Amino acid sequence: MVGVVSCAGYVPLHRLSRAEIAKAWGSAASPGEKAVANYDEDSLTMAVAAARNCIAGIDPRSIEGLYFASTTSPYREKQAAATIATVLGLGNEAFTLDVAGTLRAGTNAMKAAMDAVNSGSLSTVLVCAADCRLGMPNGSSEMSLGDGAAAVLIGKTEVAATIDATYTTCDEIIDVYRSDRDAFVHSWEGRFIREHGHGRVVPQAVAAALQKSGLTPKDFSKAILYAPDSRQLASVAKRLGFDAATQVQDGFYAQIGDTGTALPLMSLVAALEDARAGDRMLLASYGNGADVFFLTATAEIGRLKPKRRMADCLKSKLMISTYEKYLRWRDLIQLEPPATAPMEQPSPVALWRDNTSGLTLHGVKCRKCGAAQYPAQRVCMVCQAKDEFDDYSFADRVGTVVTFSHDNMGISADPPNTIVAVDFPEGGRITCDMTDRDPDEVKIGMPVEMTFRQLRYIGGFYTYWWKCRPAR
């Protein structure tokens, strides 16, 4: 039966205290903090991070489709799913799809993936959901919105949780919205949303799904309900008859905030990571309607062990010291640029030629002596063998810093620029930027892992490449 084969979440390292936001505006502080994507992260790079965790140990070329769901894709006209599939190494015959325009894009994509696998059109589909939404400064959304991502692999073999039934509704309402002219998320009056938007649609959809299936709330071990905050989650769960203490999955509002499209899938990942065989789960999303899924954990649930669990992502964090730093990262204030020469515009042709070594971070490994080398060579730098190489990925390797430099004069949203040389155990040295780091903590010999990030935005398009970060 079709279901979830593997899954994983991703939470950015950085957090911003809501008290720090309130301090900047002289307003009352909401409790908790929000997850904030680094200045070089966006929905695409976060989706890559979640997907890499999800498919660790799985041959990417065995995955036939990749669906990317987001309301904050870096492009309005360019497919992000194709970029993600290339970075992961799925191959150019993979079917790729972007799903957007609604907060239930993640569950829309999950339903489409399930239908594709059930029909035999595709054998496996990787669904990635990520959002990096902006709330207007000094507004309630600025306090509540957080950044995050999740990835779910849908297939028919070695299924950890079957998808037993689905139910969906559409509903026309303008409650939470962002037009093609807006950078910030807008919402109508709070009571209207609670009573006529989320607070009406989700209970109606879940109640209808339960009635159709003949099940009751008591039949479920866990209810995974999208809600914009903890108060609304508790209210809707109570109305539906779920016990908040034992049945309702935490939506992580206090730790990371409302992560939009990604939130239902991130919550599902957390529930599956703690599930036992036979546990029945209900998943419901919201956004101009609702999608409802019934899932059951199988005997394969014990095999579901992502490299980094949701609990690990939540614990691993670095607080942003000031609200002004957050504003700089999001380009919400204008700053005087550094007195340096402007950066040259990258060439789309050169980037296209560099897809293999640049986007997938593939080098080569010598068949004669086993030395790994980056970038790809024709002559081995160790034994001088010629054209005796196999493809070799550096993306999943843990390296070691052999030297570094802090550049305070370069252009950066998070100065100083930290440039490092990284050596890998089987050979190969890569010089790159270091991100997600405390400059005072960087030292020679520290272990680092590779992470896919934005390099710059020039000429109307984004340049992506790999950086390293301290191992989380």
Banded model confidence at residue 365, pLDDT cuts 50, 70, 90 = very high
Q: What is the pTM of this model?
A: 0.95
Q: Does residue 376 register a pLDDT over 70?
A: yes
Domain boundaries, the chain: 3-329, 348-470
Mean per-residue pLDDT for 396-412? Answer: 91
Tell me the C-alpha distance between 199 and 233, whole Å: 9
Tell me the C-alpha distance between 239 and 220, whole Å: 16
- pLDDT reported for residue 432: 96
Share of the chain above pLDDT 90, in %: 86
Banded model confidence at residue 346, pLDDT cuts 50, 70, 90 = confident
Question: Comparing C-alpha atoms, which of 359, 348, 389 is closest to residue 452?
Answer: 359
Mean per-residue pLDDT for 142-163? Answer: 97
- Answer with the residue of higher pLDDT: 81 or 410: 81
Mean per-residue pLDDT for 31-38? Answer: 97
Banded model confidence at residue 458, pLDDT cuts 50, 70, 90 = confident
Helix (H) or strand (E) holding 119: helix 105-119
Tell me the C-alpha distance between 181 and 120, whole Å: 40
- pLDDT reported for residue 337: 73
Which tens digits make up the pLDDT trace of 231-272?
999 999 999 999 999 999 999 999 999 999 999 999 999 999
- pLDDT reported for residue 341: 65
Q: According to the 3-state scheme, what is the secondary structure of 331-381?
A: CCCCCCCCCCCCCCCCCHHHHHHCHHHHHCCEEEEECCCCCEECCCCCECC
For residue 55, list its beta bridge partners.
none
CATH code of 3-329, in short, is 3.40.47.10
- pLDDT reported for residue 412: 83
- pLDDT reported for residue 306: 83
Which tens digits make up the pLDDT trace of 172-200?
999 999 999 999 999 998 889 888 999 99
Which tens digits make up the pLDDT trace of 41-89?
999 999 999 999 999 999 999 999 999 999 999 999 999 999 999 999 9
Q: Does residue 472 register a pLDDT over 90?
A: no
Question: Comparing C-alpha atoms, which of 128, 141, 107, 123 is closest to residue 54?
Answer: 128
* Average pLDDT value over all residues in the chain: 94
- Answer with the residue of higher pLDDT: 451 or 304: 451
Mean per-residue pLDDT for 337-353? Answer: 76
- pLDDT reported for residue 336: 79
- pLDDT reported for residue 305: 81
